[in-house]
Structure 1
Amino acid sequence: MKFVLAFLAVVGIAYAASNVKVTSKSTKDISIKLERTIPIKNPAIQAYLTKAVQERSPRLDMTIDFIVDKVLGEAVDLLLDNNLDPLSLPEIHLGFEYQPALITYHGELDMVGGWVQDIITIHRTGSSTVSLDGNIIGARIPIGFDDIILTYLYSATIMDLGPHGSIHGKLYDVDAYFDVTIDTDAMTVTMNEFNLNTGKLSLKFYGYGIIDWLVNLLIDVVEDVLHEQIVDILNKVVGAVVEYIVEYLNENLGDLLGRHLEGEPKLTIGHQMPKVNLRQILRPTQ
C-alpha cells in the first residue's frame, strides 16, 4: 500500500508547484460593543450641531464622512509607526487524520514564518447613513479593507510523504461598519458598535512532494485555523484603533469640525496623536 502511494506521488506532480485554490463558502459576522462616549465641548460645534438637527441639514453625512476619512488616515499612520504592517503570525502545529479506506493514517503539519499584510488598507467604503430622531443623530459608517494577504512556510508528514513549501492566502470581501450616535442635548458622541463581516479566505499551497488529494486535505485542516487567526488580529487592530480614535477625538474633534465648516479642501491635522505601543497589544501568542 505504501509503495503504491509513493509511486503515485512520483508519477503525479510530486515535484511541481500546486496551485490548487479553495475558497471558504461562508462568512461570519462579529459584533463588538464599544460604548465609548466623547464630550463635545466646543461652543461653536455645539451650535452647529443644534442648528443642523433643527434644520435637518443634509450636510451631516458629509461632515461625518470628512471626520472619518481624516481619523482613518491617522489610524493608518499609527499602524505604520508601530511597524504593524506586515505583522508576524504565530507558529502553528497541527495533527490531522486521513482515512481513504478502512485504515486511518495520522499526520502532522508545522507552519512557521507567517506574515499578514495590508491591514493598513482600511478605508471608508461608502457614504455614511445618517438618521435623525428628535435631538439624536444616528450614523452608520461603512469601512473595509482591500485584500489582506498572508503567507506561511509549512512541512507535513503522512504516509511516508513529506511535502514542504509555502502557503499563500488571501482574505477578501472583508467589510464592516461603525454605529455612532450624537446626542445634541447632552452634546456627546457615542461609538456604540462595530460589526465585522469576516470575508472569505482563499489558499494556495506551493511546494515539493505535494499532490492534489494531500493539498485538499491540508486545506481542510488549516482553513478554519487561519481564518480565525486573521479575524482575531483584525479584532485586536480595531479595538486598539478605537481606543486611539477616542483619545484623538477628545483633543481634536472641535478642530476637525471647525476646519470642515470653513470648507478647507485639504486638511493637514496639526495635532499629533499620542504615541502608544500597539505592537504590545497585537503581539501574537504562541
Structure 2
Amino acid sequence: MEFYLPIKFSALLVTYKYHTKILLVSIKGEANGKIENLTVNVKLSYDYSTYQASLDKFEIKDSGRFSLRFTGNGLLDWMTNTMTSVVTLFLQPVVIRIVQAMIKGGLQAVVDAINEVIRSIFTP
C-alpha cells in the first residue's frame, strides 16, 4: 500500500538568540527566519508481508520564499538587514537543505514510531 502526500507549509518560523563578544564589544540580539509557501511531496508505503511502514520519497517541490531579519541592536540591525536581503539569495539553498533534513528526520521518526507500535502488536 502506498500513500502520496503533498504537504504545504504556509510559514516556517525560526528564532535564534545570539550573544557575540569581539574584543571588548558585546552584541546581543535575535535572528528571525521565515520560509513561506514551502511545498513537499512525500511517499509512504506499508508492506503487509513484513508489517513495516517506510518513508520512500521526500522531495521539496517549491522552496518558497526565505527571509531573515535581525533585531535587538538598532542601527546595527538596519545595516545588517540591508546586507542580509542580498545574502539570503545565496543562503536559501543551504537553509532549504537544513529544513529538508529536519522535516525528513521528523517524518522518519514518525514512521519508526509506527513500526514500533506495529511490532509490539504483532510480536509476542
Structure 1-normalised TM-score?
0.29
Q: Find out whether 1:231 has 2:69 as its counterpart.
A: no
CA shift, 1:250, in A, is 1.9
Q: Deviations over 1:123-148 (max 9, x none)?
A: xxxxxxxxxxxxxx332023343522
Identify, as 1 or 2, the structure richer in strand: 2
Which of 25, 33, 43 is residue 179 of structure 1 equivalent to?
43
CA distance in 1, matches of 2:81, 2:109: 42
Gap change, CA 1:232 and 1:254, over 3 Å in 2: same
CA shift, 1:194, in A, is 0.8
Gap change, CA 1:232 and 1:168, over 3 Å in 2: same
Counterpart of 2:11 in structure 1 is: 147
Cα RMSD, aligned residues only:
3.9
Which of 85, 88, 96 is residue 219 of structure 1 equivalent to?
85
Larger displacement relative to structure 2 (243-252 or 171-180): 243-252
Gap change, CA 1:204 and 1:255, over 3 Å in 2: same
- Secondary structure of 2:85 counterpart: helix
Structure 1 unaligned regions, length at least 5: 1-136, 156-163, 257-286
Contact kept? 1:165, 1:208, Cα under 8 Å: no
Contact kept? 1:147, 1:170, Cα under 8 Å: yes
Letter in 1 for 2:115: N
Letter in 2 for 1:219: S
Counterpart of 2:65 in structure 1 is: 200
Superposed, 1:118-137 pairs within 5 Å as: 137=1
CA shift, 1:171, in A, is 1.0
CA distance in 2, matches of 1:223, 1:147: 18
Contact kept? 1:180, 1:190, Cα under 8 Å: yes
- Secondary structure of 1:171 counterpart: strand
Structure 2 unaligned regions, length at least 5: 21-27
Q: Find out whether 1:191 has 2:58 as its counterpart.
A: no
Q: Greater RCO between the two (CA within 8 Å, min separation 6)?
A: 1
Structure 2-normalised TM-score?
0.56
Letter in 1 for 2:87: V
